[in-house]
Structure 1
Amino acid sequence: MEKSKITNQNEHYSLITATTMIIGIVIGSGIFFKCDDVLKFTGGDIGLGVLVFCIGAFGIIFGSLTLTELSLRSKKSGGVVGYFEDFISKKAASGFGWFQTFVYFPTLTAIVSWVAGIYTCILFGLENTLEQQVFIGFGYMILLYLVNILSFKLGGYFQNISTVVKLIPLLGVALLSIIWGAQNPALPEGVELVSKSNVGWRWLAALAPIAFSFDGWVVSTSITNEVKNPKRNMPLALIIGPIIVLGVYLLYFLGLNKMLGAEYILSTGDSAINKVGELLLGTHGSRIILTIILISVLGVVNGVILGGLRMPQALASKNMIPNSSNIAKINPKFKLSISSCIIYFIISTIWMIVHYIVQKYKLLAGGDISEISIVFSYASYIILYIKVLKMKKEDTIKSNFKGIICPIFGIIGALIIFVGGFISNPLYVTFFILFCTLVCLIGYTYYKNSESC
C-alpha cells in the first residue's frame, strides 16, 4: 500500500503534459539552419526534402517506443547511460558515457554556439567571416557557462523563455505561407545562383542534418516513470509528439520554400530566413525574425551546457573517470561540481577549435562535427534495440508490437540515418566514427581496469 502511494506521487505528468514536453525537447534550433543543408543534399528537390523529414520522424517514433520499454524497467538515472548500465553492462555504460561527455555534448555546444555567432553577424551587419562567427560563439559559450554555474535558476528561466520563443517563427512562417501569393524574390546583388541538380542517391546525406534537427528525442524517455499510467500514456505521447514536431517542421520547410523558392534558399543559405522577415514585416522585419531566432539558438546552447557540465560529475559518481572522488564533489554554494564544469568547458573549447579547422578547410563537405556524433549515437542505440528483441524472446516483454516491430523499425531507422551520414563524406565520417568508437573503448577499458583493481 505504501509503495503504491509513492508510485502515484511520482506519476504526476498527464498525457498532454508528456506530449508537450517531448515537443519542447525535440524542437530545437537545427530547423533554422539545416533547411538549406537539406535542400543542398537533395539538389533542391522539395519532395525528397519532405521524405527525409519523414524518415527522421520514423526513426524517432520507433526508437523512442523501444527505449521506453527499457525506461519502464530501469532503476538507474542518466537516461541512455542508465539503460546501458542496467541492461548491457557497467563497462558499456562507461564507454557510452565517455562518448557523451567527451564528444557528443561538447560538439553540440561548440556547433550551436557557432550558429549563434552566425546569426549575430547577420543581425548586426558584422563581417560574416568564420573567425568572427567562432569568436562571437565562443563569447556566448563563456557567458552561458557562467550563467549556469552562478545561477542554475537563471539558466532554467532562460531555457523556458527560449522554448516558447522558438515556436514563433516556425508557426509564423508555416501559417502565413498558406495565404502567400507573391512571386519568389530575386537574389541579392553579388550572390551567386545555385541551381537545382540531380544528386542521385546522395540525397541520403540529408539525413545527417535531419538527425541534428530531431536530436534530443532520447531525453524524453527519461520522464517515463513520472508519467501517469506510463504503459499507456508514454507510447501515445511518443507517437503524437514526434508527429506534431514533424508537422511543424514540414509546414515550416514547405512554407519557406513557397515564399522564397528552393534556389533562393540554396544560394543564400542561413541568411534565407532574413528575407522572410523582410517580406512579412517590412524593413525591420528581418531584425525581428533574426532576434527571435538568435534567442532560440542561445536557448539551445544554454540547454546543452546545462546538461553537459553535469556529465563529468555523473560519470565520477559511478567511478567511471579518473580522479572520480574529487570530480564527484558537489559545491554547496553552487550546487554543482566545479571540477566537472571546468572539465566540460575545456573539452568544449577544444571542440570549438576542431570545428574551426573542419570548417576552414571544408573537411566535411558542408556538414559539421556534431552531425557525425549524432549519427554515431543512433548507431549506439542499436545495441539497446537488440536488447529489447532479446527481452521479447525471453518473454520479459509480452507485446509483439513493442518487443519485435518497434525495435526492428528502430534498427532500420538508425541504419538509414547512419548510412546517410556516411554518404555525406565517406573518408572523414569513417575517421570520425572510428574516433568515437575509440573514445567508447577507452571508457569501457578504464572501468574494466578500475573494477579489477
Structure 2
Amino acid sequence: METKKLKREITLMGALSTVMGTVIGAGVFFKAAAVVAHTQSAGLALFAWLLAGFLTICGGLTVAELATAIPKTGGAIQYIEVTYGKLPAFLLGWAQSIIYFPANIAALSIIFATQLINLLRLSNELLIPLAMMTAISVTVINLLGTRVAARVQSFTLVVKLLPIIAIVLVGLFIPGEVTVSLVNLEIGGDKSWLAGFSSALLATLFAYDGWLNVGNVAGEMKNPVRDLPKAIILGLSFVTLIYWAINFVFLKVLPVDQIAGNLNASSEAAAVLFGTIGGKVITIGILISVYGALNGYTMTGIRVPYALAMQNDFRFSPAFIKLTRKTYVPLLPAFLQLGIGCGMILIGSFDLLTDMLVFVMWFFSILIFAAVFILRKTQPDLIRPYKVPLYPITPLIAMFGGLFILIMTTVTQPILVLSGIGLTLLGIPVYYYGKK
C-alpha cells in the first residue's frame, strides 16, 4: 500500500543534490583537527580522507540495492527488520534515539559554541552554557513546526556551500606557507601506523555521516535503476573531492602542529586566506552551516522514537505519538532527545561523541551490508530494480572496511566501544518490557 502512494518525481539532479545535501555537514570543517592529530602527517591525513570516501561510496552502492527493493518509510530500520526481525530493528531505532541523534546534537552544539566563542572572543567558561542554549534554540525552532524547521534547513543548505567553495577556490591557487607531500604516508608522533591511521579513518567517517540515507529516495525516483547509482557515485565522489581539497588547503596554509587538535583550524585558515575581516565572514558562514546541520539532525531525530511508537507495540506508545496542538510535532521525543543531548554536552567532547556514534552506526551498517547477501539467498524472487555493481566485491569491500573500523576502535578505544555497546543493549529489556 505504501509503495503505491510514492510519487516517482525525483530526477538525477534531484537525487544528486539530496546525496550531497545529506552528507555535507559540519565535519568537513572540524574533523581535520582530529585526523591530523592522529596521523601527524599531511600525506597520511589526506589518504585517510580519500579512503573514507571510497568506503562510503561502496557502502552507498550496497545500501541502494536494499533501498530500491524495500522502498519503505524508515529506511535502514526497515532493511534490518525484513532481514533479521523486529528486535534488531528496534535496537537500531533505539541506538539512533539515545546515541546517534543526541550525540550529533551535542557534538554540533559544542562546535557551534566553540566557534562563537572564538569569533566574539568570549570566555571559554561559557562553552557549556552556550552549547546548551544552542541545542535548546534548535529544538524550539522545530517545535514551531516542520515548515519553520524546513525553511531554516533550506537557507542553511545554500549558505553552507559558500565557505567551502571560497576556501577551496582561493586556497588552491595562492602560494602556500607549507609544502604538502602527497606520497609520504609515514605517521608522525609516537603512535603505531595502524593505530594512528585507524583512529584518523574513524574521525573522517563522521564527516561522511549521512550516506546511509542516500537510498531513501529510491521509491520516489523516476528511474532508480539508471539514476540512483549515478547519483551515489557522482554525489559521493564529488563530496570526497571537496573534502580532500579543503583539507589540502588547510594543510597548505597551516603547519601540522597548528591544525592537530585545534577545532578553530578552519577559522584560522580562513583568516590566513582572506585576512581578519574575511576570515570572520567565513567563520559566520561556517556557524550557519553548523546550525543547519544541527537543525537537520534535530528534525529527523525527533521522528525516530515517534516512528517506533507508531508501530503500537509498546506500552509507552501513546505518550510518544502525542503531537503538539498547533504545529503537529512529536512533543515527548523532542524533549527526550534534547535532554539526552544536554547530558552528553556535560560529559562529552566533540571527538568522543562523534567517535561513539560512528562506531555504533557502522556496526549496524555492517549488518545492512550482510543483508544484501542474506536476502539474495532467502528471497531470490524479491524485485530488485537496482543491483549493486560488481557484486560481491563492492559489498565485501564495504563490510571489510567496517570490520576494520570496529576492530581497531575496540583495540584503541575499548571504553568508548563498551559504552556504545552497553547503551545499545539496554534496548533489549526496554523492548520486552514495553511490548503489550
TM over 0.5: yes
Residue in 1 that maps onto 2:20 = 23
Map of 1:118-157 to 2, 5 A cutoff? 118-129=114-125, 132-157=126-151
Alignment partner for residue 108 of structure 2, among 106, 112, 134? Answer: 112
Alignment partner for residue 433 of structure 1, among 420, 424, 429? Answer: 420
Q: Is the contact between residue 146 and residue 329 of structure 2 (CA under 8 Å) also seen in structure 1?
A: no
Shift of 1:424: 4.2
**In structure 2, C-alpha distance between the alignment counterparts of 1:400 and 1:154, rounded to whole Å:** 38
Q: CA RMSD in A?
A: 2.5
Deviations 1:31-73 (A, max 9, x none): 1111011001112x12211221122112211212221111112
Q: Is the contact between residue 65 and residue 238 of structure 1 (CA under 8 Å) also seen in structure 2?
A: yes
**In structure 1, C-alpha distance between the alignment counterparts of 2:263 and 2:96, rounded to whole Å:** 28
SS of alignment partner, residue 286 of structure 1: helix
Alignment partner for residue 41 of structure 1, among 28, 32, 38? Answer: 38
**In structure 2, C-alpha distance between the alignment counterparts of 1:292 and 1:423, rounded to whole Å:** 38
Instruction: Give the AA of the match of 1:388.
Output: V
Shift of 1:140: 0.9
Instruction: Give the AA of the match of 1:375.
Output: F
Alignment partner for residue 211 of structure 1, among 197, 205, 212? Answer: 205
Q: Is the contact between residue 176 and residue 253 of structure 2 (CA under 8 Å) also seen in structure 1?
A: yes
Answering whether residue 189 of structure 2 is matched by residue 197 of structure 1, we say: yes
Answering whether residue 224 of structure 2 is matched by residue 230 of structure 1, we say: yes
SS of alignment partner, residue 367 of structure 1: helix
Shift of 1:446: 4.3
Q: Is the contact between residue 95 and residue 442 of structure 1 (CA under 8 Å) also seen in structure 2?
A: no
**Which has the larger displacement, 247-256 or 86-95?**
86-95
**In structure 2, C-alpha distance between the alignment counterparts of 1:400 and 1:325, rounded to whole Å:** 40
**In structure 2, C-alpha distance between the alignment counterparts of 1:285 and 1:399, rounded to whole Å:** 47
The TM-score with structure 1 as length reference comes to 0.86
Residues 419 and 260 of structure 1: is their aligned pair in 2 closer, same or farther, counting only changes over 3 Å? same
Query: How many residues are aligned here?
Result: 422
Q: Is the contact between residue 76 and residue 85 of structure 1 (CA under 8 Å) also seen in structure 2?
A: no
**Where does structure 1 lack aligned partners over 5 or more consecutive residues?**
186-194, 360-365
**In structure 1, C-alpha distance between the alignment counterparts of 2:58 and 2:172, rounded to whole Å:** 31
**In structure 1, C-alpha distance between the alignment counterparts of 2:351 and 2:429, rounded to whole Å:** 27
Alignment partner for residue 250 of structure 1, among 244, 250, 258? Answer: 244
**In structure 1, C-alpha distance between the alignment counterparts of 2:51 and 2:272, rounded to whole Å:** 31
Residue in 2 that maps onto 1:362 = none
SS of alignment partner, residue 422 of structure 2: helix
Residue in 1 that maps onto 2:316 = 323
Residue in 2 that maps onto 1:392 = 376
Answering whether residue 403 of structure 2 is matched by residue 406 of structure 1, we say: no
**In structure 2, C-alpha distance between the alignment counterparts of 1:184 and 1:399, rounded to whole Å:** 45
SS of alignment partner, residue 375 of structure 1: helix
Alignment partner for residue 169 of structure 2, among 164, 168, 175? Answer: 175
Q: Is the contact between residue 122 and residue 271 of structure 1 (CA under 8 Å) also seen in structure 2?
A: yes
Residue in 2 that maps onto 1:50 = 46
Shift of 1:183: 3.0
Residues 46 and 336 of structure 1: is their aligned pair in 2 closer, same or farther, counting only changes over 3 Å? same
Instruction: Give the AA of the match of 2:339.
Output: I
Q: Is the contact between residue 67 and residue 218 of structure 2 (CA under 8 Å) also seen in structure 1?
A: yes
SS of alignment partner, residue 283 of structure 1: helix
Shift of 1:348: 2.0
**Which has the larger displacement, 106-115 or 366-375?**
366-375
Alignment partner for residue 373 of structure 1, among 357, 369, 379? Answer: 357
Q: Is the contact between residue 159 and residue 299 of structure 1 (CA under 8 Å) also seen in structure 2?
A: yes
Residue in 2 that maps onto 1:188 = none
Residues 400 and 208 of structure 1: is their aligned pair in 2 closer, same or farther, counting only changes over 3 Å? closer
**In structure 2, C-alpha distance between the alignment counterparts of 1:349 and 1:196, rounded to whole Å:** 36
Tell me which of the two structures has the higher relative contact order, counting C-alpha pairs closer than 8 angstroms and 6 or more residues apart.
Answer: 2
Residue in 2 that maps onto 1:300 = 293
**In structure 2, C-alpha distance between the alignment counterparts of 1:339 and 1:263, rounded to whole Å:** 45
Q: Is the contact between residue 388 and residue 403 of structure 1 (CA under 8 Å) also seen in structure 2?
A: no
Deviations 1:315-374 (A, max 9, x none): 11013554202321333411112222222222222222332xxx4xxxxxx831232122
Instruction: Give the AA of the match of 1:349.
Output: C
Alignment partner for residue 10 of structure 1, among 7, 20, 25? Answer: 7
Residue in 1 that maps onto 2:337 = 344
Deviations 1:397-438 (A, max 9, x none): 695846522321220121122234335423x12322332342
Shift of 1:444: 4.6
Residues 40 and 400 of structure 1: is their aligned pair in 2 closer, same or farther, counting only changes over 3 Å? closer
Between the two proteins, what is the percent identity of the paired residues? 25
Shift of 1:391: 2.6
Shift of 1:160: 1.4
**In structure 1, C-alpha distance between the alignment counterparts of 2:34 and 2:388, rounded to whole Å:** 38
Residue in 2 that maps onto 1:274 = 267
Deviations 1:239-276 (A, max 9, x none): 11111000000000001111123232227x12222332
Deviations 1:175-202 (A, max 9, x none): 21222115359xxxxxxxxx95353222
Instruction: Give the AA of the match of 2:392.
Output: I
SS of alignment partner, residue 324 of structure 2: coil
**In structure 2, C-alpha distance between the alignment counterparts of 1:425 and 1:126, rounded to whole Å:** 33
Answering whether residue 92 of structure 2 is matched by residue 96 of structure 1, we say: yes
Residues 313 and 290 of structure 1: is their aligned pair in 2 closer, same or farther, counting only changes over 3 Å? same
**In structure 1, C-alpha distance between the alignment counterparts of 2:432 and 2:60, rounded to whole Å:** 29
Residue in 2 that maps onto 1:62 = 58
**In structure 2, C-alpha distance between the alignment counterparts of 1:282 and 1:400, rounded to whole Å:** 47
**In structure 2, C-alpha distance between the alignment counterparts of 1:402 and 1:226, rounded to whole Å:** 25
Residues 182 and 253 of structure 1: is their aligned pair in 2 closer, same or farther, counting only changes over 3 Å? closer
